[in-house]
Structure 1
Amino acid sequence: MSKVRVYQLAKELGISSKELIGKLEELDIAVTNHMSTLDEDTVEIMKELYYEEPKEEIEDKKQIDKKNTKQKKNKNNSDEVELQADKKIIIMPDTITVQEFSEKIEKSVSEVITKLIGLGVFASANQQIDFDTAASIALDFGIEIEKEEEKEEVELGLEQTPDKPEDLKERPPVITVMGHVDHGKTSLLDAIRNTNVTAREAGGITQHIGASEVEVNGKKIVFLDTPGHEAFTSMRARGASVTDIAILVVAADDGVMPQTLEAISHAKAANVPMIVALNKIDKPNANPDRVKQELSENGVLIEEWGGDTICVPVSALKGEGIDNLLEMILLVAEMQELKANPNKLATGTVIEAKLDKSRGPVATILVQNGTLKVGDPIVAGASYGRVRAMLNSKGKNIKKAGPSTAVEILGLSDAPEAGDKFNAVKEDKIARQIVEKRRAKIREESLNATAKVSLEDLFKHIKEGEVKELNIIVKADVQGSVEAVKQSLVKLSNDEVKVKVIHGGVGTITESDIMLASASNAIIIGFNVRPSSTVTNLAKRENVDLRTYRIIYEAIEDVEAAMKGMLDPEYKEVVLGKVEIRATFKVPGVGTIGGAYVLEGKVIRNAKVRLVRDGIVIFEGAISSLKRFKDDVKEVATGYECGIGLENYNDIKEGDIIEAYIIEEVKRG
């Protein structure tokens, strides 16, 4: 007779496994659980005990058992299957929270925590445990768990198949305009697309990546306009990585400058052909030959000097040479034979991303292959979603976007990082799985705290050896600016102190940013954003140094000066008060007047003001009029209503906050 398990004998005797184990223990027969095997003698004893059958009948029963071996074997197999069904095998990842683990094994959180304590592990419901710990606890509950196999993103559904030559079709070229600050990059694009972007930029510098399309001789050209200041090196690098042709704008009256050299490096690193646009040739002091000489000294030899780089003299201001430049772009593009497969799921790159209060996360993307359609599930970095709407470069809604098309999309879960790759996938479920894996990796990164510092006393702490790392949190109005500030600040690291950007995000400075800065002893730098009064007050309570800037290099200069102990606080901004716009009125001959309520502090007639909408600075300037009822007044205090007008600005909306401030000289001790 083959060995019989406890649960099999119990079933045959018509009793529970627990009762049978109890009876066996009374007879000093050692068993551990219902899976324990029993020898032939023990089985006979138990049968005698429960059946109270004579020995002859037992012998007869043995014969019957032998005759029905096959049936019993089948019965045993079915019991094994039944037990296997009871014995759960659960698939789990490398790490899992206690809450999720308890749900998977269908036990209460308290039971799991009790077992953890028994193993010497103290964890709350939301804390993670590793696979080995989970396996030990599961075994105690009689449950088997297996480690989840790591699935590659390709397996999860990201299309990676190479395109067949017959599927490829001609696509428009993507052009990046690069060069030194103030050499006329944006003005050149203005001349091409008849727009004026520069006038809206703070300090006349392009600070966000933009994308636009123009049509020349029936063919489309896509332009990426990258900022020119050296703080945006990383943004220019990203532009070059997605481009087919780089236009290097060099001023004929200025020559090769540091950012010109960086632009050349990026174009060469990306292995893209370059066209030199020699701008400002209309200026009396223009010297094209000197510029060509400087370019040749830095590895760019133009065609007329025996090289392979096309050079086109242009004047963005007067529109000279623009047609010739566009023809050269099409010629170089034709030589490259640019092709893509429009009949597949779209892939491409995120050019820019921001948070919009009314529309949610908005991303500007460049489709590089395939066709993106409204309704497609997509993955972009650590964000996912379904494309709810697509807008082209002219702001019009479109249903689909083919290769080399720059579009603004809505529908993502949150704003992705600028420069992230995006992929359209077949199902929402696939997008969610991919993003969950990516987010899990991001969560693994931890923050290291250092001593609390402010920029004023940074040098003192460095000298005393208290600061080895300077933690900084960066918040800006768009993702590209966040990345640019981060890259620039990290470069300031030296032998004595390492600059570490522990967090960078899009949108206004929030309470959670203050708490993170407090916990990690960081300085907060805001670019083109303004915190609310609640956040400012919390920063004071938590002793967090919070600074806001409108021009990036001012932030960089401040941190650099503080590290050298040379931060001279010549002037300091003092916020006088905040005013909320509650109604707007259009007055003929005057413009838009805001019916306002002074929330805190006071507003005075000769103060400087900034208009803040959803935490983003929209306008900076001066007050044109300040009235109480029909009378002009010099100031209005907290709790009073007033009428307020801004100089040369009429786009005032309900809910806007006007912040009044003055600049005063402050001497630091």
Structure 2
Amino acid sequence: MNYKKFRKIKDDDAEKKQFNKKIAEKASRKVLTKKQKAKLSQKNANQNNNAELQQANEAVSQANFLRSPICCILGHVDTGKTKLLDKMRGTNIQQGECGGITQQIGATYFPAETLKDQCSKVDSKFEVKIPGLIIIDTPGHESFTNLRRRGSSLCDIAILVVDITKGIEQQTIEALELLINKKCPFIVALNKIDRCFGWKSQEFEPFVRAIKNQKKNTVDDFRSKAQHCMIELCKKAMLTFTLFTENTNSKKQINLVPTSAVTGQGIPDLLYLMVKLTQGYMSNRITLEMETVTATILDVKNTVGLGSTIDVLLIGGVLRKGDTFVAAGLKGPIVSNVKALLTPPPLRESRVNGEYIHHDEVRAAMGVKIAGLNLQDAIAGSSLYVSDNPEKIEQYKKILQSDVDSIVQSIEKSSHGVYVVASSLGSLEALLDFLKNSSIPVNNVSIGTVHKLDVVKASTMIERGYKEYAVILAFDVKIDPEALQEAANLGVTIFKEDIIYHLFDKYTMHIENYRAQLKEENRKHFVTPVIMKMLPGLVFNYKNPMIFGVEVQEGELIPGTPIYCPSKKLPLGTLDSIEHERKTVLSATRGMQVAVKFSESSLEIKKDIQDDEVLVSYLTRQSIEVGKTYFTDEVKKHLKLFLKLKSILNIT
């Protein structure tokens, strides 16, 4: 404002009033503009907040529609599967209360907060969208037993544990085949990196940071071992494997994550990759379905105070106390009601035996124990269906029965073979496949505990003349005491193991010992083939005992062999001993000239036989059959000679 002008007109009332009016109007316009700006600013802020809120709601909504992915751990014995899972549990074990890692029925649950904590060590900006991660505690084939009719797998992703110091082993190959056949995505954990020469350890350190802290010779040792494993994996699986730090395409290349179950190094990377792959590429598969209950029976147990219970992995839907459900059973489908829904206490309290938390309902995904009636014959590995509709229940019964029938019908039963008992449909399938590939015949199968009736059925092999097959192969099951007593009474052998290969090794040793015993028992009936010619003029004693010189022309001459003279059609008796260069020997082969002795022969040289006769082993039909049954290697070795002697001796 012009102050001088104001002073000039200040005494003029009319002009003063007009001037003041203009000032007021101008001030009024300025105030109005500020209000408008404030209002507009507030409006913009609200719009921004609404946009952020909408984005947050969308993120929450997306997370709410995703369930926790299910992971299982596979690998050869002693690669560190259990230790690795134990170490993973230890990432946040102090938060065993609500919100922390919890031990579920048959599984371990890693909540989103734990995953965020570990993933942030690898990528601080990484966003965890899944509500958590479930890792099944029982590694192996039981993890691949859900909905066989549709060929799908219970697991969304798997960890294949490989001992970096040993490389690929037998069970690694089987696990690879299983994962490929089931089309299950997997990550390879190259475990035991702490055993690399001079390795420096720090608890739960990401691999990238860990490798930077190593000396050059340690890095070289690690890379050499990792490269060896990588090449072996590529050869066996015909897939491309690469270190996760060098992988530019996880859809085409399998990630190798170096880990240590001792120090926890690499575990953040392992969890990070599992979260990244499942929420990034498998959102359709892990979308939560709440309307329909989807569940798989992991185990059947007898729980103190509750009776028979089933451990179930709930993948979709809500399971409530009082629900009617249908499960596959040994004697047909089981229809029962949920009497109790149980979970163990938080991990930090899980050492307390017999304690369970009761629930009115549980939501997917979760491991839970169900108490109900008539569950003792439920089959682990089968699906569980929930409905209160009688028509639906009948439909589910047919589906479950067809599942069981399809497996039973697919078993190639032999008239003679072992009796197989497994803990679940999945483990039964795995064991049967292994036995088939190992050329071990199977006569009958069962699922669950080994009972007295199983022993009686297995004993029929003895009655049929196949004593070597009077064996029960019990895979990951319990044995009833009455069954053990009955087995001792009937002469049935029971082998119980939790690992297929250990079961196979025991049975193989049993067969080898049994055949070795039979071989010794029948050795007196087996005749080793030989053709020899008496050496003229080398008769040391003409009779009782006959001692003379011979040259072995074909086969092998051993003491105890019955000898025959074809030209005279006379048996000489059983060979007592052999001397070579005045020393007793246990055998003589082609070209050797030796002295032989027959103590109990009734023949006399020059009277009954000449001193230049051709002599042969005295084979019979019985000795040939014994050879074919128990001495196959010897028969194959001298097959042409056996055929020649059969002709000489007129054996048909």
Name the structure with the higher helix share: 2
Q: What is the TM-score with the length of structure 1 in the denominator? A: 0.47
The one of the two structures with greater contact order (alpha-carbon pairs below 8 A, sep at least 6) is: 2
Q: What is the TM-score with the length of structure 2 in the denominator? A: 0.48
Q: Which structure is larger by alpha-carbon Rg, 1 or 2? A: 2
